[in-house]
Amino acid sequence: MNTCVQNIKKPSRSVSLLGMILYLILGVSSVHAQDLENYQMEAAQNNPGLKAAYFDYQASLQKNAQVRSLPDPELSFAYFISPVETRLGPQNARISLTQMFPWFGSLKDMENGAHYETKALFQQFRGQRNLLFYQMELLWAELYQIEENIRLANENLDIVNTLVSISLRKYETGLVPQVDVLRAQIEQEDLKTHIRLLEDNRELLTARFNEMRNVNADEPVVIPGTLSTSSINTENKEQILQEIKANNPDLGQLRSLEDAARNAIEVASNNGLPSFGLGFDYIFTGERSDIASLSDNGKDALVARLSVKIPLFRGKYKAETQEASLKLNASRNRLDARENQLETNFYTAIRDLEDAQRRFSLYDLQQIQRVEQAVNILLQSYASDNSQFEEILRLHRKLFNYELERVKARTDEYQTLSLIKYLSGGHNLTTEEINY
């Protein structure tokens, strides 16, 4: 994916005739925000859900040693309550040792199956980490947006406060009717209520962000003053889509599960083949007292055995093979469905990205400037003839809404780029990079 990074600074309203008339100075404070990557690395170390997925992966690594081992040998002891009389003497007891061996290649096939399942769990861990980082990026952008909204609301409240003061002075001197004061005060209280709601939402978003970090809900989060976005070449969609199909962890997990299902067919086929056993019996023989000169009198016996386990009842083995084949078909269809879903999500993200960029340009380069110009003209008129105060408030409200929409457009652009990064496995890591 071809990307070029640019820092998008938060917009600041320029000092205009509006500020001069209303005696306002609009200040914009800059905050050096802690880098999002630091928060993500902290979450990667502390998030309990992600750690659980990691330990599931680690546990699956132990299966390889289990499946590649032979079955445990069987040791048995038999005591003859009634000794068996033989030419060399009575047989009193027997110790038997038996070791079974599966069909050739069966152990290797079972080891391969465990390996594919381990790969699937690693991809699942990868995907969960990728999702965690993506969700943190969404919240990071929402925190930026809400902080900008609070800043803009406070700036506009300052302006409305000044309008209230001006209208009160003019009302006291009989230059304007009381309704101008009331309208300004209504706008003032609406903004105060809106700011309180925004502050409550900021507290909630901070708690959700800290939940992902696995820290206290009230732990301070340094909210960004800028959003770093990337531009992508939307004309090169097919190449980006191929990268998504190659690197997406969900697809990687499904491919590993498909390999495991294919291997399960081989395992099921081997289960229907004979297995072999080698064994030894050691028989304890007592001496005969009636023939003292007998050669090898009382000599213990050693017996070697070869056994074959014949899978005679074929129904269950055929069903096991058929089950594995059907699971392979299911895995293939799940993989195809997920690929189609990712493709749809990608094209939807491209549409949303272009829409967000168009909206930002519209508000930043056209609408806000035009409304600011209209407000300035009306303010000059209000300063001279005390007319159109209601229109000033209406346009001031529209200007505030356009400023909010500009911030939302930038936030939407950042979140959509984060989605494309998430779909393409932008936060994938290798087994060597895991550090717990």
> CB–CB of 156/22 below 8 Å?
no
CA distance 339 to 332: 11
* Start-end of H helices in 248-387: 249-271, 315-362, 368-385
CA distance 87 to 392: 124
- The answer to whether residue 137 scores a pLDDT higher than 50 is yes
Reported as a pLDDT band with limits 50, 70 and 90, residue 385 is low
- The answer to whether residue 9 scores a pLDDT higher than 80 is no
Give me the half-sphere count of Cα atoms (radius 13 Å) on the Cβ side of residue 338.
18
User: What's the residue count for the chain?
Assistant: 436
> CB–CB of 423/346 below 8 Å?
yes
HEC-encoded secondary structure of 165-191: HHHHHHHHCCCCCHHHHHHHHHHHHHH
**Whose structure tokens read 């970090």?**
213
> What does pTM read for this prediction?
0.81
Q: What is the pLDDT of residues 303-349, one digit of tens each?
A: 999 999 998 888 888 999 999 999 999 999 999 999 999 999 999 99
- What single letter denotes the amino acid at residue 300? D
CA distance 198 to 274: 72
Q: What is the pLDDT of residue 172?
A: 86
**Beta partners for residue 89, in sequence order:** 86
CA distance 137 to 144: 11
For the chain, what percent of residues have pLDDT higher than 90? Answer: 58
Reported as a pLDDT band with limits 50, 70 and 90, residue 430 is confident
**CA distances (Å), 234 to each of 107, 304, 352, 423, in order?**
49, 74, 12, 15
Give me the half-sphere count of Cα atoms (radius 13 Å) on the Cβ side of residue 220.
4
Which residues, including other chains, have CB under 8 Å from residue 112's CB and lie 6 or more apart?
Answer: 263
Phi and psi of 201, rounded to 5°? Answer: -65, -35
Q: What is the pLDDT of residue 384?
A: 65
> CB–CB of 166/22 below 8 Å?
yes
Phi and psi of 174, rounded to 5°? Answer: 75, 20
